[in-house]
Chain A
């Protein structure tokens, strides 16, 4: 990511209200995600983090306002790392099969992946250090390795914006640190924008360029420094301050 290049605004939330059946959980939400950004969404359970995530992914319409996505994202090109399901942990598929499945967006009928897709997949696996696991069985990998494979798949779906839903949940501290370092690399060196829902407030404060805190019908958006100075940050992130 060169500094001279114009930073694209991938997601622009303009005065957005979100919720279900007319009952708003989020109101008057304004923020942007631009290339090179690292946004962490924090807050208590049930504060609407998943609702926000669904809306950012385009799976839930806002009650009012608009979530404007960059034209390059129109074809569903968001690299999403969902929380793992129980069924997945025991899934018979090779790492290569899983990573290649990231290319499906918008494609119709076809039997084979193109050579270009295959080489991109291999490149992404290389970036995440899972290339030598190409033919390994997904269910036999460690939790950290599985997350890397899913990240490689997410990169195949979209090379510019990653949306992660509690990626370190269930990982041991070493694997979590490893994952954070990888994300930092992708963010700093490749300029990939990262949006992450997390409970790990320490790491959020350490790596993020912006924090979005979800509270009961209120929210806070700002840099980690601003966040720590705010009433939310004083209570929630107090340990570091």
Chain B
């Protein structure tokens, strides 16, 4: 117990909790429409795009976030616009983009700086290395994501459930899809700092999947996913502090355990 209390005396851990809770909340909320629209892999794809953009930015000596945020937003808008009717399926498009961006990132890195700690931290997260500016930016972006999600909750539900119906009844489907893409892109870029490019997509997918096992209403799923995500993050970060495991991977494992628990709960019920 004293060990736990001692944990909160370190300012870098407190910062990690603040940013982590906000990012996992955003990721969980956006994850529900993304998973339901069959875009589960978007997080993976975008994080690799972000990695590519960061590698180029580092090589050129530019600030990483101002470069990667617009690039990732652009990729998100393009990928989420791909519907089943496009010549190349959305899953193929995501896979192609993801692999290409990763390859570009790796080549640029090897030709210039080599695998520095910077690059490593983007691959696997550097949540404990967040400074004040990082925290301020994360809080602002997360607040924007949360406010927009709540304001446009009904529209997001409608376009997730039935795009064709929404379009026919005059809902601006394109506008809200773009909104969803931009929010997703912001969350992914922030989440990368947290758990890294390799693991961020799990923050998007797991809570939504877990909540879908045990809740019947859309609102219930959204709220449940948010709670699961935040609780799993806090548990994961605490656990990683106690047993000295990498933060990102520990959070993912906690999410996996919750998911398996939810699957079991559903099976017991039926």
Q: How many Å from the CB of A51 to the closest CB on chain B?
A: 14
Within 8 A of B (CB), among A104-121: 104-107, 109-111
CB A86 to nearest CB in B, in angstroms, measures 8
| Complex interface residues of chain B between 184 and 234 (CB less than 8 A to chain A) | 212, 215-221
> In the complex the two chains form, is A111's CB within 8 Å of B164's CB?
no
Residues of B near A102 (CB, < 8 A) are 165, 169
- Neighbouring B residues of A140 by C-beta, 8 Å: 216
In Å, the complex CA distance between A153 and B218 comes to 16
Give, as a whole number of angstroms, the nearest-CB distance from A197 to chain B.
Answer: 13
Question: How many Å lie between the Cα of A140 and that of B157 in the bound state?
Answer: 19
Instruction: Give Cα A93–Cα B157 distance, bound, in whole angstroms.
Output: 9
A105 contact from B169, B216, B219, B220, Cβ within 8 A: B169
* Cross-chain contact of B36 among A76, A87, A101 (Cβ < 8 A): A87
Task: Point out the residue from A76, A98, A154 that lies within 8 Å of B161, measured CB to CB.
Answer: A98
CA distance A168 to B141 in the complex (A): 46
- The CA of A57 and the CA of B165, in the complex, are separated in Å by 10
Pick the contact of B169 from A88, A97, A135, A157 — CB < 8 Å? A157
* Distance of A159 from chain B, by nearest CB (Å): 13
Q: Which residue of A lies closest to B166 (CB)?
A: A104
A149 to B220, CA, bound (A): 20
Contact of A137 among B150, B157, B216 (CB under 8 A): B216
Question: Does A93 lie within 8 Å of B153, measured CB to CB?
Answer: no
Does B158 make an interface contact (CB < 8 A)? yes
Asked if A91 lies at the interface with its beta carbon under 8 angstroms from chain B, I say yes
Provided the pairs A91-B36, A101-B158, A104-B155 are in contact, do residues A76 and B217 lie with their beta carbons within 8 angstroms? Answer: no
Chain B CB within 8 A of A220 CB? no
Contacts of A107 in B (CB 8 A): 154
Do A93 and B168 touch across chains, with their CB atoms under 8 A apart? no
Measured in the bound complex, the distance between the Cα atoms of B37 and A87 in whole Å is 7
Measured between alpha carbons, how far is A136 from B169 in the docked complex, in Å? 25
Contacting pair B152 A106 (CB below 8 A) = no
User: Most chain-A Cβ atoms within 10 A of its Cβ — which of B152, B167, B212?
Assistant: B167
Contact indicator B162/A78 (Cβ below 8 Å):
no
Residues of B within 8 A of A136 (CB): 216
A233–B220 alpha-carbon span in the complex (Å): 51
Q: Are A104 and B217 in contact (CB under 8 A)?
A: no
Closest to A165 in B: B164
Q: Which residues of B contact A111 (CB under 8 A)?
A: 150, 153
Alpha-carbon distance A135/B153, docked complex (angstroms): 19
For residue B38, CB closer than 8 A to chain A, the reply is yes
Mark contacts of B144-184 with chain A using CB atoms, 8 A cut-off: 1 yes-contact digit, 0 otherwise.
00000011111101100110111111110000000000000
Contact: B168 with A82, CB < 8 Å?
yes
By the criterion CB–CB under 8 Å, are B212 and A92 in contact?
Answer: yes
Contact with A along B3-38 (1 / 0, CB 8 A): 000000000000000000000000000000000111
Asked if A92 meets B171 with Cβ closer than 8 Å, knowing A80-B165, A101-B157, A101-B161, the reply is no
**How far apart sit A80 and B169, CA to CA, in the bound complex (Å)?**
8
Expressed in whole angstroms, the minimum distance between the Cβ of B223 and any Cβ of chain A is: 12
A4 to chain B, nearest CB (A): 31
Given contacts A80-B168, A91-B218, A111-B150, 16 further A-B contacts (CB under 8 A): A77-B169, A77-B170, A82-B162, A82-B165, A87-B38, A93-B157, A93-B217, A93-B218, A94-B216, A97-B217, A97-B219, A101-B154, A111-B153, A135-B216, A137-B216, A158-B169
5 smallest CB-CB distances across A and B, nearest first, come from A76-B170, A137-B216, A80-B168, A82-B164, A105-B169
| 5 residue pairs bridging A and B, Cβ less than 8 Å apart | A76-B168, A76-B170, A77-B170, A91-B218, A101-B158
